[in-house]
Amino acid sequence: MGMMGMSFVMMLMVGQGPNELLDVVSTKGYWRLQGVELTAENMLAQLKAEPGEPNADVRRLMAVRALGELRKREALPLLRKLTDSKELFVAEYAKRAIATIEGKTLRGKGVPLAMRMEDVGLLPANCGLVAQFALAPGTGPVDVAKVIAQMGPMGEQMQQEGGLDQLTKPLVEVTGMIGNVRIDAVTVGLAGDVGNDKGFVVVVARGLYDAQRAAAALKGLMTDENRQRIDQVAGMDVYRPDDEVAMILVSNEHFVLAGGPNADQLPVEALAKAIKAGKGTLRDNKELAAIIDATDKSGRMWAAAQMTEVYRKGSPMFEPFHAAALSTKQGKGGTQLTLLAQGKDADKTAAAIAQFNAELANVRRHMEEGVAQMPMLKPMAELVKSIQVKQAGGNVTITAKMPGESSAGMMLAPMMLFGMRAVPSAPPAMVEEGPVEVQPAQPQGR
């Protein structure tokens, strides 16, 4: 896609928070690339076309979306029939198009906490940090042209280089390979022992995609070169595009990925067995399990961490603490984030806070400069500006507010609260060996 295209997608997600791949594909740009004039008649014809046409599933979805955006009431009877469709995404797109024509807004329901906790349970016991993000249900495509206009000099350059089509084309190519993808929730587990040649990160995603089509695309891309292969582990296909990544396409609603510098240390067998059994070994890590249990998980994002020796050595800011819990509360105008970190030495905690504040001041300066160049960064700048730190003995509470409800922006927020670094040298979390006492995060606004 290119560096500029990737930068655009990241900024788009931070600013707007879409959770579907097609949400970042312009309707006008898509049909212009297809050589089809964007009219209600042509869109209805697309829906009646033979299923064998290239990328028929994506074309149908884009046609349904376009009928909604064109607000053609004569399309309502056909759209209502499609609300009973069993094809992936079609019924949802039809309902959304109907709502758009009728001047309403339709949002999805998201993934219940109980189901998200099942994903936490799949993680292996040797995790040191667990984080979870429940993405805000999308309301439809973002205005890509408007976003480009908010990107300052980069946006101007993109417009000069045919910005909309330049961005749309590679995204259309990707959807042509795997179809649409929606992400509703992401659960992340980081090994307690990480380094340049050890450790792992596990990502468990819930949403909707065509697992069979994705598998075919992976097989088509993988060759015998670079040690690419497909393994059978506990009766499940494990795709290894290289020595550092392993993927399991569990179902159309479930996807699991493990990555790390050492293929032998990836917990592939543990994950495959956990998927088949419905639970893994995370609860065997009693200290981390206790922190997770005590963390307020009612918000759309939370994290819990157990400090290991490796984590403590990562930064002087982490060294004083033995446990940390991050919680969020959605309120009027944004999301309140609260990080509670527990320590025993008040002097060491004070020193860590001093370093944190120094780096925070530096980040604030850079964010102000960034917003002047790229207005889309304003939500992250407001987040940084809102950060406050309070100490109580060896403990510290850090609060901040993320404007709006950008899902991707919330994922980036912990970096601002924890490490204040573009690439943290160690995970932002804390717990030492032995029994740990963790106080639940207190609800905001009470």
DSSP H helices, 35-151, are: 40-47, 56-70, 76-82, 90-101, 113-120, 144-149
Whether the Cβ atoms of residue 397 and residue 339 lie closer than 8 Å to each other? yes
Same domain? 309 vs 348: yes
Of the candidates 190, 19, 177, 44, the residue with the CA atom closest to the CA atom of residue 108:
19
- The distance in angstroms from the start CA to the end CA of the chain is 47
Same domain? 391 vs 292: yes
Same domain? 121 vs 94: no
268 falls within a domain: yes
373 falls within a domain: yes
Crossing angle of helices 3-16 and 152-160, rounded to 10°: 130
298 falls within a domain: yes
Look at residue 110 in the predicted model and tell me its pLDDT: 83
CA distance 399 to 445: 13
Question: The domain spanning residue 225 has which CATH number?
Answer: 3.40.1000
187 falls within a domain: yes
E strands, 96-178, where? 127-134
Of the candidates 431, 428, 408, 430, the residue with the CA atom closest to the CA atom of residue 418:
428
CA angle at 388 for the pair 384 and 389, rounded to the nearest 5°: 125
pLDDT (tens place) for every residue of the chain, 446 residues total = 444 444 444 444 444 457 889 988 889 889 998 999 999 999 999 998 776 687 889 999 999 999 999 998 999 999 999 999 999 999 999 999 999 999 998 877 789 999 999 999 999 999 999 999 998 777 677 777 776 676 666 666 666 656 667 778 888 889 989 999 999 999 999 999 999 999 999 999 999 999 999 999 998 888 766 568 899 999 999 999 888 999 999 999 999 999 999 998 999 999 999 999 999 999 999 999 999 999 999 998 999 999 899 998 888 889 999 999 999 998 887 889 999 999 999 999 999 999 999 999 998 998 888 888 777 778 888 888 999 999 999 999 999 998 865 554 555 555 445 444 333 333 333 333 333 344 444 433 33
Domain encompassing residue 10: 3-101
341 falls within a domain: yes
Look at residue 121 in the predicted model and tell me its pLDDT: 97
Same domain? 123 vs 249: yes
- Paired with 236 in beta bridges are 233
Query: What strands, in cross-sheet order, belong to the sheet with 201-208?
Result: 229-233, 236-242, 245-251, 254-259, 201-208, 182-191, 127-134, 301-306, 321-331, 334-343, 395-403, 388-392
Same domain? 215 vs 126: yes
Type of residue at 220: G
Same domain? 224 vs 309: no
Same domain? 91 vs 127: no
Same domain? 232 vs 365: no
Same domain? 325 vs 313: yes
Same domain? 293 vs 348: yes
Same domain? 256 vs 403: no
CA distance 202 to 192: 12
Which of residues 101, 124, 152 is at a domain's end? 101
Which stretch of DSSP H or E encloses residue 352? helix 346-373
Same domain? 273 vs 341: no
Instruction: Give the contacts of 119 (CB within 8 A, at least 6 positions apart).
Output: 132, 185, 187, 204, 206
What's the total number of domains in the chain?
3
429 falls within a domain: no
